[in-house]
Amino acid sequence: MKNKYFYHYNFYNIDNEPNLNKSSLVILKHFKTLQQQTEYTCGPRCIEMVLKYLFANEKNCELANLDEFKISNMINTRPYHGTKLKNMVNFFKK
């Protein structure tokens, strides 16, 4: 996207960005980002984004259909405290 003050990179379609030094970056092409819906569900939302990316082409995949709040319950996310990192790690180990 062109702007008269600064350049916006299109990270979703990174192949179309000629001015970006990609040799020092690791960017997942077509990784869709989602905004968390509460102030304490950043961990569950990140898990949801990873699952949607990994299982994007899987039809009827249970993991790809989990949302931020279902994941929050599964990994014991709490208001004002958020999610413990060990709970997020254990989610992926299961």
**Mean pLDDT, contiguous 10-residue spans, the chain (94 residues):** 61 65 72 92 96 88 92 96 96 92
What was the pLDDT predicted at 17?
Answer: 59
Beta bridge partners, 82, equal 78
Q: Quick one: CA dihedral 43, 82, 38, 59, positive or negative?
A: positive
Closest CA to 33 of 48, 17, 16: 48
Gap between the Cα atoms of 31 and 41, Å rounded: 19
**26 phi-psi bin (left φ>0, alpha ψ -120 to 50, beta other):** beta
Q: What are the domain boundaries of the chain?
A: 34-93
Q: Is the pTM of this model over 0.75?
A: yes
